[in-house]
Amino acid sequence: MATAAKIGIGSAINRVDGVEKVTGTARYAAEHPVENLLYGYIVEAAIAKGRIVSIDEEAARAVPGVVEVITHLNRPHVAWTDHSYQDELKIPGSPFRPLYDDRIQFSQQPIALVMAETFEAARYAASLVEVAYEAEAHNTDFEVAVGEKYVPKKKRSGYMAPKDRGDAAQAFADAPLKVSGDYRLPPEHHNPMEMFGSTVEWHDDGSITVHDKTQGSQVVQGYLASVFGFSKKKVRVLNPYVGGAFGSGLRPQHQVFLAVLAAKMLERSVRVTMTRNQMFSHAYRPQAIQSIALGAETTGKLTAIRNEATTSTSRYEDNMENVVTWGLMNYDCPNADAEYTVAQVDTATSADMRAPGAATGMTLFEIAIDEMAYEAKVDPLEFRLINYSPIDAMNGTPYTSKALREAFQEGAEAFGWSKRSAEARSMRDGKELVGWGCATGMWDAQFSKTSASAKLTANGHLEVACATSDIGTGSYTVMTLVAADTLGLPPEQITAKLGDSDLPTAPVEGGSWGAASSGAAVQLACQAVGKKLLKAAGKIAGAPLGEATIDDVLFEDGCIVLKDAPTVRVPFGDAMRAADLTQIEEEETAAPGFGDMWKGMHKSKNTHSAIFAEVKVDEELGVIRVTRIVDAVAAGRIINPKTARSQILGGVVMGMGMALHEETFPDHRLGRWMNHNFGEYHVPVHADIHDIQVIFVDEPDPEVTPLGVKGLGEIGIVGTAAAIANAIYHATGKRVRSLPITIDKILD
Amino acid sequence: MPTAVNTATYAAVPIGTVPTTLTINGETRTRAIEPWTTLLDLLREGEDLIGTKKGCDHGQCGACTVLIDERRINSCLKLAVTLDGADITTIEGLGQPGDLHPLQSAFCNHDAFQCGYCTPGQICSAQGLINEGKAKTRDEVRELMSGNLCRCGAYSNIVDAVLDVIGEQA
Ligand code: FES
Ligand code: FES
């Protein structure tokens, strides 16, 4: 029997949730219709630090339709220990507790919630709430705060302390070639297109169903249970569609706290959505200063790396990132040292944003590397190859795989790098200066314990389920393809379910571990179903499969097929009927160490990329256009080349934002972000995006994760801004060490 | 048509309403609308037409783009009561699961989205662009779609999808 080409891992199929998204039928958190809904509108603190003296709600309460104004004075009981507010990220410190007391810890802190029958009434009434404050001196100026930088005593989980080697101070002092400088990244806000919102359905038995914008339904479920004293059974959290997050939804955000608080207090269903302005009140990528000193021989061989960085955190939590480790891991250099510290400002706690730590540390480091290449008069790509380390140079461990060399090769070829002229300001196109730059990207290949279930019904329909999230990452499609691959069913016969705290346990979606982890769990669950199917087939009269074990069969077109005699095929339905089964359901857990992963236990696990950028700069106006990007990515096995490419495109576009546009400006007198809207916080738009080419380098790696998948959510952004900055230098001869590279810095 | 869930609540608030006749996706009805309600909030909260998205509420992102009398417009910037007699098409009116509009199919085929939140706005905006008949080249499409932000960065795929459909119609 001729079979259609099998669709499975590696097939470039359309996103399985695509139709819902293009028809507007996908419902996001604030879009669930609920009878008798109340709307909440957040009132924010106008000062950065101090306390609330009084709140005058009279005018707000007089607005028709307003039912309550909730503040710290009249809120119901909530938990008081720090521990109760801790989430999966376990950031050391004392997590922010909304409406807890009269203390103001940051500007735009939520201090009241106006509840009304309509959104408009709530919004209007919120503008009438009068708050009197007693202000204290604040500091939001990071450049001042670094004067009191420190190494936090308690480290955040996942933090990797840098390991020094050799004598970097001496080697730098002795180096014939030296480069050193301070490199800066401003605060950036995630700004997913969907604003943070929650719809809470209040049920008569005191249970709640929460539609939340989050990267982890079970994280929010646990948080709400511990903060409000619900039993977990009474809290169900759903997030089947998430309109982007980029890290801002890793921790429960305050709108879900406020919505549940109101629902509990009023015993009604509630919706609370932040405004775009209020989206700047919480998570942001920490501001960073990185001091980098490099020493090299005249041949371009690195002899010293000194890498020091400080990032911003709040007064109440020590948010840490892995900023300084990347360059030490990636480059072969006998002497290296590094130090990482944080400094406190009076803002909300900074947060993970796409490739936290690496997008900052590796990107800025790659600008310094470019400077050293010029200093040594070596082509920047050649410089990276001279100092190439096949092993993790900081930890001294081999990688499970590192096809960065191949990435450089394939990327350079696609870009036409060999045609580059070495000198800065040596390439032109009409009145525009042309520049070509390159950089390396690097991220962790992670894996996290995850469970999934698979349910096959006799009509041949398979449902796979896992409480993971799809924040645009393609998780639905990944789960579908892995299931199709494992059980040999066409994707149309498979439903993937996710985004529901009732489903098998999964960690928060982030760090690029989603596809590797939920994919492995789905594969295990489907394999378990396969075993049951084979057993059921044994009940068929005449036993067509004989004594076949699971290794003797494969699953194809809804049939169990004998490997050695492919004409012997037992349809799933026949097997299930013979065993009197209407369905087979299995749940499995994929934990680290499973499969061939044990072989990689003591190895380093990373994704790499080689990014090439072309810019054109109008010298008179200082306008920069990124006309071409080639990003060659080595990230193990690619489950769906179509959605995978989109993930890299998305990372590259955000990297362009980092290079040219994105910066949140505080007004230090007010201690407040000033450009809290899309008119003034600039992100790349259609007109900014020209040609972006994505290449996936072949990199088989059975040791990194069970499916050989390394993850793609972050790697696209890491180093992109460096490639662009380096291209700008090549075009203009102007070295800009602080991102974003705006027109003023070019004309300066 | 999805059922309207909150219209009654809207009408219940005693701040006064204005009878306004709107045709939404082919259905003409006169509604009692409060003067402070934007078209966007009317669609989302009053009509349960949640395909029209709110990304900023300030005319800065394009997620709320709908077609009014075939022209693309940011529905967050329009008070609904000012639209008496208008003919409004939202993403739900362009096509539905099983009966996709060519732009919707092209977006699926080009993977022109990730999270999907900007997508209905992009599609309505692209239809408006096609109605205007101005954009023919990639550069023109990019320039004239720049009011629609996509934080997931699906821009190049969106332009591919739009060009596909423009090409088919040319
Ligand atoms: S919501 Fe209307 S333009 Fe952003
Ligand atoms: S697809 Fe997420 S914002 Fe465009």
Q: What pLDDT digit, counting tens, does each position of A650-665 carry?
A: 999 999 999 999 999 9
Nearest ligand, CA A654: 2
CA triple A354-A360-A364, angle to 5 deg: 145
**Atom 3, ligand 2: residue with shortest CA distance:** B150
Question: Which residue segment(s) compose the domain that B163 sits in?
Answer: 102-169
User: Residue holding tokens 């080689």?
Assistant: A610
Q: Which atom of ligand 2 is nearest to the CA of A21?
A: 1
Separation of CA A86 and ligand 1 centre (Å)? 34
Contact A707, A713 (CB under 8 A): no
What domains can be seen in chain A, in order of their start residue? Answer: 32-137+192-275 (3.90.1170.50), 168-188+284-446+601-746 (3.30.365.10), 448-590 (3.30.365.10)
Q: Residue type for B119, please? A: T
Q: Which of B94, B125, B153 is the last residue of a domain?
A: B94
Residue B133 touches chain A, beta carbons under 8 Å? no
Residue whose pair of structure tokens reads 């009317």 in the numeric block: B42
A636: phi > 0 → left, psi -120 to 50 → alpha, else beta; which? left
What does chain B come to in residues? 170
Banded model confidence at residue A201, pLDDT cuts 50, 70, 90: very high
Give the pLDDT of residue B6: 46
CATH number at residue B42: 3.10.20.30
State yes or no: pLDDT of A594 exceeds 80: no
Asked whether the predicted pLDDT for residue B5 surpasses 60, the reply is no
Nearest-5° Cα angle at A178, A176 to A183: 170
Distance A74 CA to ligand 1 centre (A): 34
CB B62 within 8 A of CB B146: no
Whether B47 and B87 map to the same domain: the answer is yes
Residue with the two structure tokens 């037992």 = A570
Q: What is the pLDDT of residue A88?
A: 87
Q: What is the pLDDT averaged over residues A41-63?
A: 97
Which strands make up the sheet holding B65-68, listed edge to edge? B27-33, B18-24, B87-89, B65-68, B71-74
> Which of A21, A275, A675 has the highest number of chain B CBs within 10 A, making it the mutation to test binding with B?
A21
Question: Nearest CA to A243 among A214, A283, A203?
Answer: A214
Here the tokens at position A59 are 């005018």
Q: Could you tell me the end-to-end alpha-carbon distance of chain A, in angstroms, rounded to an integer? A: 71
The residues, any chain, with a CB within 8 Å of residue A418's CB and separated by 6 or more, are A412
Structure-token match 């191949």, residue found: A406
The alpha carbon of residue B29 and the mean position of all alpha carbons in its chain are separated, in whole angstroms, by 19
| Whole-number Å distance between alpha carbons of A628 and A607 | 22
Sign, CA dihedral B35-B36-B40-B43, equals negative
Nearest ligand to the C-alpha atom of residue B120: 2
B61 and B118: one domain? no
Interface of B with A in 82-111 (CB under 8 A): 90-92, 95-97, 100, 103-105, 107-109, 111
- Angle (nearest 5°) at CA A537 between A531 and A540: 165
Residue A65 to residue B15, Cβ atoms within 8 A:
yes
Query: A333-377, pLDDT tens digit by residue?
Result: 999 999 999 999 999 999 999 999 999 999 999 999 999 999 999
Structure tokens that stand for B143 in this block: 């320039």
Ligand 2 site, residue A244, Cβ cutoff 6 A: yes
- Residue A79 corresponds to which tokens in the numbers above? 């938990």
Rounded CA separation A18/B107 (Å): 8
A120 vs B36, B61, B143: nearest CB = B36
- Based on the fold, state whether residues B133 and B72 are members of the same structural domain: no
H or E stretch including A524? helix A514-537
Name which of A13, A15, A23 to mutate to probe chain B: the one with the most chain B Cβ atoms within 10 A of its Cβ: A23
CA of A602 to the centre of ligand 1 (A): 50
- Which range has the worst mean pLDDT, A350-359, A509-518, A623-632, B148-157? A509-518
> Mean pLDDT over residues A3-9, rounded?
78
Q: In this structure, what are the phi and psi dihedrals at residue A130, rounded to the nearest 5 degrees?
A: -105, 125
Site of tokens 């119901």? A76
Alpha carbon distance B58, A477 (integer Å): 34
Interchain pair A646, B145: CB under 8 A: no
Which atom of ligand 2 sits closest to the CA of residue A193?
3
In whole angstroms, what is the distance from residue A705 CA to residue A636 CA?
9
Tell me if residue A223 falls in helix, strand or coil. Answer: helix
Which of B72, B94, B116 is at the close of a domain? B94
Mean local confidence (pLDDT), A261-266? 98
CA distance A220 to A87: 8
Q: How far is A609 from A117, CA to CA, in rounded Å? A: 52
For the sheet with A302-313, list strands across it: A177-185, A288-296, A302-313, A336-344
Q: What is the mean pLDDT of residues A50-61?
A: 97
User: What count of other Cβ atoms lies within 10 Å of the Cβ of residue B16?
Assistant: 10
Q: What is the mean pLDDT of residues A295-314?
A: 98
Within 10 Å of residue A67's Cβ, how many Cβ atoms? 16
Residues B83, B107 within the same domain: no
Q: Considering chain B, what is the average pLDDT of its residues? A: 92
Check if B154 has its Cβ closer than 6 Å to any atom of ligand 2: yes
Q: How many CA atoms lie within 13 A of A659 on its CB side?
A: 35
DSSP secondary structure of A473-521: S-HHHHHHHHHHHHHT--GGGEEEE-SBTTSSP---S-TT-HHHHHHHH
Q: Which ligand is nearest to the CA of B54?
A: 1
Sign of CA dihedral A228, A231, A236, A237: positive
B60–A643 CB contact, under 8 Å: no
Mean pLDDT of chain A: 96
End residue of a domain, out of B63, B94, B125: B94
Reported as a pLDDT band with limits 50, 70 and 90, residue B170 is low
> Ligand 2 pocket, B152 CB below 6 A?
yes
Q: Indicate whether B32 and B84 sit together in one domain.
A: yes
Question: Does residue B36 sit in the same domain as residue B75?
Answer: yes
- Flag whether residue B66 sits within 8 Å of chain A, measured between CB atoms: no
Question: What pLDDT score was predicted for residue A4?
Answer: 57
DSSP A658-721: HHHT--PPEETTTTEES--STTTS----GGG--EEEEEEPP---TTTSTTSB---TTTTTTTHH
Question: Looking at chain A, how many residues does it have?
Answer: 748
Q: Where are the beta strands (DSSP E) in A74-185?
A: 103-104, 110-116, 130-135, 177-185
B156 and B89 share one domain = no
Q: Inter-chain contact A686–B141, Cβ cutoff 8 Å?
A: yes
A18–B114 C-beta distance less than 8 A: no
Which residue of chain A comes nearest to B47, CA vs CA? A33
**How far is it, in rounded angstroms, from Cα A559 to Cα A485?**
13
Half-sphere exposure of A725 (CA within 13 A, CB side): 33
How many domains is chain B partitioned into structurally?
2
Q: Is the CB of B29 under 6 A from ligand 2?
A: no
CA of A56 to nearest chain B CA: how many angstroms apart?
A: 23
State how far the Cα of A523 lies from the Cα of A454, in Å rounded to an integer. 9
Q: Which residues of A are known catalytic residues?
A: 714
Give mean pLDDT, residues A470-487.
96
Q: Strand A672-673 relative to strand A691-696: parallel, antiparallel, unpaired?
A: unpaired
Characterize the bridge pairing of strands B65-68 and B87-89.
antiparallel
Give the model's pLDDT for residue A513.
79
Q: Does residue B59 sit in the same domain as residue B120?
A: no
B26 and B56 fall within a common domain: yes
- Contact at CB, B13 and A642, closer than 8 angstroms: no
Give the residue among A467, A495, A468 at the shortest CA–CA distance from A483.
A495
Find out whether the beta carbon of B73 lies less than 6 Å from any atom of ligand 1.
Answer: no
SS (H, E, C) A154-221: CCCCCCCCCCCECCHHHHHHHCCEEEEEEEEECCECCCCCCCCEEEEEECCCCCEEEEECCCCHHHHH
Of all atoms in ligand 2, which is nearest to the CA of residue A472?
Answer: 2
pLDDT tops 50 at residue B10: no
Residue A667: in which H helix or E strand, if any? strand A666-667
| Beta strands A38-44; A270-273: pairing state | parallel
For residue A2, how many other CB atoms are within 10 A of its CB?
Answer: 3
CB atoms within 10 A of CB A459: 11
From the alpha carbon of B115, which atom of ligand 2 is closest?
Answer: 2
- The answer to whether residues B49 and B115 belong to one domain is no
Q: Rounded to an integer, what distance in angstroms lies between the CA atom of residue B76 and that of residue B67?
A: 13
Cβ-based burial of B15 (10 A; exposed 0-12, middle 13-18, buried ≥19): middle
| 8 Å CB contact of A24 and B2 | no
Q: How far is Cα B116 from Cα B99, in angstroms, rounded to an integer?
A: 19
- Average pLDDT score over residue span A433-439: 98
Greatest CA span in chain B, whole angstroms?
52
Residues B112, B86 share a domain: no
Note whether B109 and B90 are same-domain residues: no
The mean per-residue pLDDT over the stretch B130-137 comes to: 94
- The CATH number of the domain holding residue B146 is 1.10.150.120
Strand partners, A673: A666
A472 lines ligand 2 (CB under 6 A): yes
Choose between A511 and A621: higher pLDDT: A621
Task: Indicate the SS3 state at residue A689.
Answer: coil
